[in-house]
């Protein structure tokens, strides 16, 4: 098997239908399988897949186990040399799978562990597709709005959220998890994702691990993939922002260590307090409160599990 395409869905029936349709319509000249992992949806997503996409392998989970955990379930079932982790709110606009396989098979690209394309919105405009791994320096620039005075070139070397550009493939440390084409042999672990991350930053932590082992990430901007705003994130409601902040802090803890994570927590407390005093925005107050109350780094994983 050349490629295993894994799609995780949580209450995204309409988007999932469009995503799967685009896979079967556009994927050519490769041997592939499609694995759909339904994360305990209540909107009939799994029944729709069973009824309309007989060629897809459907895995039904009883509850929402999280994005990374559900992808791990699909990964264990998969058999492809490459694994394409694809969000249910994406649509392939061309033969992305075929292009990715050809690119990864080239002798000069054997140290490429993951690649991605240019993500676009529903109007065709470029969306966030890649970036740099998060750093304390980038945090300082963003938190205290130093980005308004920095040259674009410096910001591009720091930002973890960039749009793909140009027509030629180029290296990038972080590839968006919305369309994440992974070389199976690059993994040192039996599954790709750390399940301490319920949602957000799981692909960031994986890219950190792969880079640490000497592998590269690449962006192929000629591949266009539509990425719509995730209904999964919407369904989380008020928990979404807290899950995002927790995952971000967890990334620093796991990848940079307790001291750096402690410094990040302190910087966020100060930064969001300053923002709140200047603009009195409730979102800044809530984020400041979150970081102020997270004093024990080792409890982050347990906190994440209990609140998600």
* pLDDT for position 113: 98
- The pair phi, psi for residue 210, each rounded to 5°, is -65, -40
Inter-residue contact 47 to 26 (CB < 8 Å): no
Report the C-alpha gap between 90 and 114 in whole angstroms.
18
Give the closest residue to 104 by CA, choosing from 36, 185, 22: 185
Q: Give residue 154's pLDDT.
A: 86
Which pLDDT score is estimated for 233?
Answer: 64
What's the whole-model pTM score?
A: 0.91
Match 């402690």 to its residue by tokens: 262
Structure tokens at 99: 């292009």
Contact status, residue 128 vs residue 174, Cβ threshold 8 Å: no
Per-domain residue ranges for the chain? 3-229, 236-307
Q: Would you write out the chain's pLDDT as a tens digit for each of its 308 residues?
A: 999 999 999 999 999 999 999 999 999 999 999 999 999 999 999 999 999 999 999 999 999 999 999 999 999 999 999 999 999 999 999 999 999 999 999 999 999 999 999 999 999 999 999 999 999 999 888 888 787 788 888 888 899 999 999 999 999 999 999 999 999 999 999 999 999 999 999 999 999 999 999 999 999 999 999 998 655 566 666 678 888 888 999 999 999 999 999 899 888 888 888 888 887 888 888 888 888 776 444 444 444 444 44
Architecture of the domain defined by 3-229: Alpha-Beta Complex (3.90)
Which pair of tokens denotes residue 272? 């969001």
Percentage helix, strand, coil for the chain under 3-state DSSP, each rounded to 5: 45, 20, 30
pLDDT of 61-115, one tens digit each?
Answer: 999 999 999 999 999 999 999 999 999 999 999 999 999 999 999 999 999 999 9
How far is Cα 264 from Cα 293, in angstroms, rounded to an integer?
Answer: 14
d(CA 274, CA 144): 9
Pairing label, strands 179-183, 82-87: antiparallel
CB neighbour list of residue 180: distance below 8 Å, 6 or more residues apart: 84, 85, 86, 114, 116, 203
Residue 26 confidence (pLDDT): 98
């Amino acid at each position: 098997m050349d490629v295993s395409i894994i799609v995780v869905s949580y209450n995204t029936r309409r988007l999932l239908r469009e995503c799967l349709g685009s896979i079967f319509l556009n994927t050519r000249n490769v041997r592939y399988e499609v694995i759909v992992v339904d994360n305990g949806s209540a909107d009939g997503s799994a029944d729709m897949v069973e009824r309309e996409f007989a060629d897809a392998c459907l895995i039904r989970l009883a509850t929402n186990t999280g994005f990374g955990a559900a992808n791990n379930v699909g990964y264990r079932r998969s058999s492809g040399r490459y694994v394409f982790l694809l969000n249910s709110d994406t649509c392939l606009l061309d033969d992305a799978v075929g292009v990715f396989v050809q690119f990864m098979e080239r002798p000069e690209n054997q140290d490429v562990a993951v690649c991605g394309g240019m993500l676009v919105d529903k109007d065709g405009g470029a969306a966030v597709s890649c970036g740099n791994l998060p750093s304390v320096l980038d945090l300082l620039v963003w938190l205290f709005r130093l980005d308004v005075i920095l040259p674009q070139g410096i910001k591009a070397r720091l930002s973890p959220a960039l749009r793909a550009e140009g027509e030629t493939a180029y290296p990038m440390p972080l590839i968006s998890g919305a369309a994440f084409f992974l070389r199976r042999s690059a993994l040192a672990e039996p599954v790709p994702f750390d399940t301490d991350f319920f949602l957000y930053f799981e692909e960031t932590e994986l890219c950190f691990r792969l880079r640490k082992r000497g592998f590269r990430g690449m962006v192929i901007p000629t591949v266009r993939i539509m990425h719509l705003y995730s209904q999964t994130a919407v369904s989380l409601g008020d928990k979404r922002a807290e899950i995002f902040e927790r995952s971000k802090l967890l990334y620093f803890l796991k990848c940079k260590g307790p001291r750096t994570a402690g410094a990040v927590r302190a910087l966020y407390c100060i930064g969001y307090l300053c923002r709140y005093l200047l603009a009195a925005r409730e979102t800044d107050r809530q984020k400041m409160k979150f970081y102020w109350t997270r004093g024990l780094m080792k409890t982050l994983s347990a906190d994440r599990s209990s609140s998600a």
